Amino acid sequence: MLEENTHMCFCPLEGVIDVISKKWALLIVNVIGNYERLRFNKLMQELGYISPKTLSDTLKELQKEGLVKKDTFAEIPPRVEYSLTKDGVELRKAIIPLLKWAATRTNVKKKKCDPACREIPAHRVRLAAPSEKDTMPQTCPKAILKQ
Amino acid sequence: MLEENTHMCFCPLEGVIDVISKKWALLIVNVIGNYERLRFNKLMQELGYISPKTLSDTLKELQKEGLVKKDTFAEIPPRVEYSLTKDGVELRKAIIPLLKWAATRTNVKKKKCDPACREIPAHRVRLAAPSEKDTMPQTCPKAILKQ
DNA sequence: CAGCATCCACATAGATACTG
DNA sequence: CAGTATCTATGTGGATGCTG
């Protein structure tokens, strides 16, 4: 497999770098993964202060890239649910090391976990598989807050 | 450590997301890591067709974020060398899973490794520690090209 | 050699208002 | 509920030409 090579290629990343570099993309992938399925307005709440336009645009991009799946139910009022594709789930796992790096690096000058940030559920990452009983923590884990 | 938590926080990532989302940032971090030390013009060659302004801007951002270090030598003609800080080295490691994900995902629609890409050294990632004798491969590893 | 200055084109995100 | 339409502000990268 790839692990056997001592060299890798950035080329495949190029196609996706445009997507993951969008301001909200990783956050959206993360929060959908936190819940498995999420509706539009719930997504807005979870993300904090994103405009419907920006969320709509980004969701379309993520669908185009095959990272997010959209299920529309013909009901009144309409119901739409977003979930991660297999690729989306994998991406969410692949960014964990990046998260850990960001959480432990020494030269951080800008934002850390502050009270305002802790109020935004999308900033929390559920590493374990979601279950009925599992609830998201109301604050950042202490291990990170102490950084 | 962090591994013991079942939840993580995105907050620390927020500060850097602006940096790593810049078009050339990850590529620059990667290629400097490939060589340990690189000069400005060499960096330009390795990156393909980046303008000096863009390279200059991005390098400044990376320095401000504590990911890249700049060493200036008072010589004529002037010599400047860029290297990764400890954080930069760690970041370069942290993006490897992302690379692997991008290389193996199923729904890729856009760019893969093509001849044009293979001519750009910065797209290649040296996983092993650089040494005098180690040379970069002239093409992408087959395992990736076959995707 | 290693850049900076200037100008330009385009993409992205937000605010606000409106709709099937 | 789940968006769309429109406008605007800002960011980001590229081209070109010049400099210590």
pLDDT in tens, A69-101: 999 999 999 999 999 999 999 999 998 888 788
Interface test with A, best of B8, B14, B139 (most A CBs within 10 A): B8
Pair of tokens at residue A22:
């969008």
The residues, ordered by sequence, that sit 6+ positions from B77 with a Cβ below 8 Å of its Cβ are none
Pair of tokens at residue A38:
């999420």
Beta carbons of A125 and B26 less than 8 angstroms apart: no
Report pLDDT for A74. Answer: 94
Q: What is the dihedral of CA A82, A87, A90, A94, to 10 degrees?
A: -100
Phi, psi of A110 (to 5 degrees): -95, -140
Report pLDDT for A96. Answer: 83
pTM: 0.77
Q: What are the tens digits of pLDDT across the range B31-72?
A: 999 899 999 999 999 888 899 999 999 999 999 999 999 999
Report pLDDT for B91. Answer: 92
Residue of chain A minimizing CA distance to B34: A7
Q: Which of A12, A64, A109 sits opposite B102 (nearest CB)?
A: A12
Q: Which of B15, B67, B125 sits opposite A7 (nearest CB)?
A: B125
Nucleotide with the nearest C1' to A78 CA: D1
Nucleotide with the nearest C1' to B81 CA: C2
Q: Give the integer Cα–Cα distance in Å for A58 and A53.
A: 9
Pair of tokens at residue A84:
């991660």
Phi, psi of B32 (to 5 degrees): -65, -40
